[in-house]
Amino acid sequence: MTVTQSKPASTAGVAALDRAIAILDAFATADRSLSLAEIAARTGLYKSTILRLAKSLLRGQLLERLDDGRYRVGPATFRLGALYQRSVVAIDILLPIMRDLAERSWESVAFYVRSGDVRTCLYRVESKHPIRYTIREGDVLPLLAGSGGRVLAAFSGQQGEPYETIRKTYHCLSVGDRDPETAGVSAPVFGPGHTLLGAMTLSGPSTRVDA
- Residue 43 pLDDT: 96
- Residue 8 pLDDT: 54
- Residue 2 pLDDT: 39
- Residue 204 pLDDT: 86
| pLDDT tens-digit readout, 91-124 | 788 899 999 999 998 899 999 999 889 999 999 9
- Residue 100 pLDDT: 94
- Give me the domains of the chain, ranges plus CATH numbers: 9-79 (1.10.10.10), 89-205 (3.30.450.40)
- Residue 53 pLDDT: 96
Q: Cα–Cα distances in Å, from 115 out to 133, 197, 210?
A: 22, 12, 28
Question: Residue 207, class by beta-carbon neighbours within 10 Å (0-12 exposed, 13-18 middle, 19+ buried)?
Answer: exposed
Rounded Cα gap, residues 124 and 133, in angstroms: 11
Is residue 38 within 8 Å of residue 50, measured between CB atoms? no
Beta bridge partners of residue 200, listed in sequence order:
111, 187
Rounded Cα gap, residues 130 and 81, in angstroms: 29
pLDDT under 50: residue ranges of the chain: 1-6, 211
